[in-house]
Chain A
Amino acid sequence: AQTVTQSQPEMSVQEAETVTLSCTYDTSENNYYLFWYKQPPSRQMILVIRQEAYKQQNATENRFSVNFQKAAKSFSLKISDSQLGDTAMYFCAFMKLLNTGNQFYFGTGTSLTVIP
């Protein structure tokens, strides 16, 4: 079975600083996808960034980037120039590819607070 572990239940960062959220996963699959989702107080789930396991290059989306270490099964999220609007729960997710569809596994989340 696949598991996703986020070992930091809560984190805080000063506005404009950089923060890294950790995520590790366990799988025997070779091809899969990884995601970071943001859930602000509104509870809306928003995709932050995604990484295909077959790609060696780390994904980047503006201020958000990942450090994908496939051998170590690690997928951390770096937020640069943190903004107040980044305050939210962040969930790491693993997508297993099936012949017919996809299965998703989510971590328990990291609550990030950006301090003005």
Chain B
Amino acid sequence: DSGVTQTPKHLITATGQRVTLRCSPRSGDLSVYWYQQSLDQGLQFLIQYYNGEERAKGNILERFSAQQFPDLHSELNLSSLELGDSALYFCASSVAPLGEQFFGPGTRLTVL
């Protein structure tokens, strides 16, 4: 158990819908990262937050957005969902931007 929690574990929805994935970092960690792992593929870095501020962006679609709240939990919002958005979404946290990342168990999103 890494100490990073993600909810829900599984999510099934339809095309065109909007969902919110939630991540609670380890206690004391200020930095949160979001990744997307499509079937049988490596991880795609989406976005990084540090203490509530966006710090880096990767291959995040315009239909996706994220934020980190004052209590440091983070949410990833996915809208106008497409079949290709079906993937495992990971959140990771670290105490500082260069610190070791600890990954959560992931949220498996299935878009039908």
Question: Which of A11-19, A42-50, A75-83 lies at the interface with chain B?
Answer: A42-50
For A102, list chain B residues within 8 Å (CB).
48, 55-56, 97-98
Closest chain B residue, CB of each to CB of A43: B106
For A109, the closest partner residue in chain B by CB is B42
CB pair B42 A103 closer than 8 Å: no
* In the assembled complex, A36 has its CB within 8 A of some CB on chain B: no
Contact with A along B77-94 (1 / 0, CB 8 A): 000000000001010100
Instruction: Tell whether, in the assembled complex, residue A101 and residue B55 are in contact, meaning their CB atoms are under 8 Å apart.
Output: yes
Chain B interface: which size bin? 20 to 34
CB distance from B40 to the nearest CB of A (A): 8
For the complex, is B44 an interface residue (Cβ under 8 Å from A)? Answer: yes
The answer to whether B55 and A45 have CB atoms under 8 Å apart is: no
A68 CA to B105 CA in the complex, in Å? 30
Known: A98-B55, A102-B48, A108-B41. A45 touches B33 (CB 8 A): no
Q: Are B105 and A101 in contact (CB under 8 A)?
A: no
Q: Is the interface of B mostly helix, strand, loop or mixed?
A: strand
Contact between B90 and A104 (Cβ–Cβ < 8 Å)?
no
**What 1/0 mask marks residues of chain A from 3 to 46 whose CB sits below 8 Å from any chain B CB?**
00000000000000000000000000000010000000001111
Q: What are 24 inter-chain pairs, A to B, with CB distance below 8 A?
A: A33-B98, A43-B88, A44-B2, A44-B105, A44-B106, A45-B43, A45-B103, A47-B101, A91-B43, A93-B43, A98-B56, A100-B56, A101-B31, A101-B48, A101-B55, A101-B56, A102-B97, A102-B98, A103-B45, A103-B58, A104-B33, A106-B42, A109-B41, A109-B42
**13 more A-B residue pairs beyond the given contacts A105-B45, A109-B41, with a C-beta to C-beta distance below 8 A:** A33-B98, A44-B106, A46-B103, A47-B100, A100-B55, A101-B48, A101-B50, A101-B55, A102-B48, A103-B56, A103-B57, A106-B44, A108-B42
Residues of B within 8 A of A (CB): 2, 31, 33, 35, 41-45, 48, 50, 55-58, 88, 90, 92, 97-98, 100-103, 105-106
